Structure 1
């Protein structure tokens, strides 16, 4: 039993970052569902319509579009950040590579091909399409998640948009028409600009400010012009 307990404690400790944020995500998502249903029912009450339960709200396009429009902007942020930081630099920021390492770097630096080690991922040591795919897999998957969540936003968005139009006795619009609508682009762009602002703020503020013990910050005593150094 002691060994099992130690193993479980070790698992939670060594995966606490993912598990902690995953649990926080579920808690906040549940809270959003409760608050979103309350707001949606307020709108229905104003329009003299019957209110809905939490289960029905969770299955509604209103809830789906609110969730997916945030997801797509987050995945876009990481997609752009992952690819952008290959070439873009910020002197003094731990969010940037060292200034002389701009670009995709050599196979030796990346431990690819003949320079792969015994503990390197298997595809890193290949010299065909598998290496090319694996070398860009993180950015590609983030880009795929962005496209899928943006597609989900567009589908749930047109359903929510048409639901509102029907309550106002207006004709519904097609999905293609919705893609060119102000509602769709306003939902997308208002999230994109906030994510891009957050990345830019993190890059420049981490040049001068510190958070002891965080890998997102430089060591407290590191000089302001130290680049690519993590705490």
Structure 2
């Protein structure tokens, strides 16, 4: 039970992710088959839908926008601050900070990660490992969206007796950029509102909120 408690947040979100994926698969299949019946086309099974470009592009376009949000938030909060927000660093802590502040090299603690202690490329890589990982996942999921979206878009064109588009054409196609930008704008809005709302609003006990009685102007303080 203690191990479940120690990893409860990851387990809960993992369970929610799984339920959402199952729900998306079932309702997505229902929608695709509904459209097929309306057009007098053959319906498909769940397995065929799960391996289709239509399902893949829906998954990838959401994942890439989420990881873009994380990537930008991680990088921008290094240099930019927001007075009063717990999502910001203290106003005098902009930049990469000193080795002492970051507890690396000779300022490392006994239980610090090994790569935080050593000099050279390993410490440099580890110092940016979170941003690099988010970048790789973002690029990978956006590439998957592009590939799956291209296949799905051409399937629709062929079904409508139109000529399919090449890679270059699809890269400039409204379908690709509409799918992309409608997700990006929602992520930017969500982050901006979280940063600003957390200046004045509270959620008792949450590390994403300041303590209930903390002044509005306090910056980088978490509950």
Range class of TM-score, shorter chain: over 0.9
Cα distance in 2 between the residues matched to 1:51 and 1:188: 28
Among 16, 20, 23, which residue is 2:15 paired with?
Answer: 23
Aligned residues: 223
Match of residue 4 from structure 1: none
Among 170, 179, 188, which residue is 1:187 paired with?
Answer: 179
* Pairing 1:161–2:153 present: yes
* Pairing 1:114–2:106 present: yes
Match of residue 137 from structure 1: 129
Write the deviation string for residues 48-88 of structure 1: whole angstroms up to 9, x where unpaired: 10111111111111010001000000000000000010011
Match of residue 44 from structure 1: 36
Cα distance in 2 between the residues matched to 1:80 and 1:64: 24
TM-score by length of 1: 0.95
Match of residue 168 from structure 2: 176
Cα distance in 2 between the residues matched to 1:59 and 1:28: 17
Matched residue SS, 2:92: helix
Among 91, 94, 97, which residue is 1:99 paired with?
Answer: 91
* Pairing 1:228–2:190 present: no
Match of residue 196 from structure 1: 188
| Unaligned stretches of 5+ residues in structure 1 | 1-8
Report runs of 4+ in structure 1 exceeding 3 Å deviation: none
Cα distance in 1 between the residues matched to 2:159 and 2:206: 50
CA shift for structure 1 position 177: 2.0
Cα distance in 2 between the residues matched to 1:175 and 1:212: 50
Cα distance in 1 between the residues matched to 2:84 and 2:193: 13
* Pairing 1:10–2:2 present: yes
Write the deviation string for residues 76-134 of structure 1: whole angstroms up to 9, x where unpaired: 00000000100111100000000000111000000011111111000001110111110
Match of residue 140 from structure 2: 148
Matched residue SS, 1:101: coil
TM-score by length of 2: 0.98
CA shift for structure 1 position 176: 2.7
* Pairing 1:76–2:79 present: no
| Unaligned stretches of 5+ residues in structure 2 | none
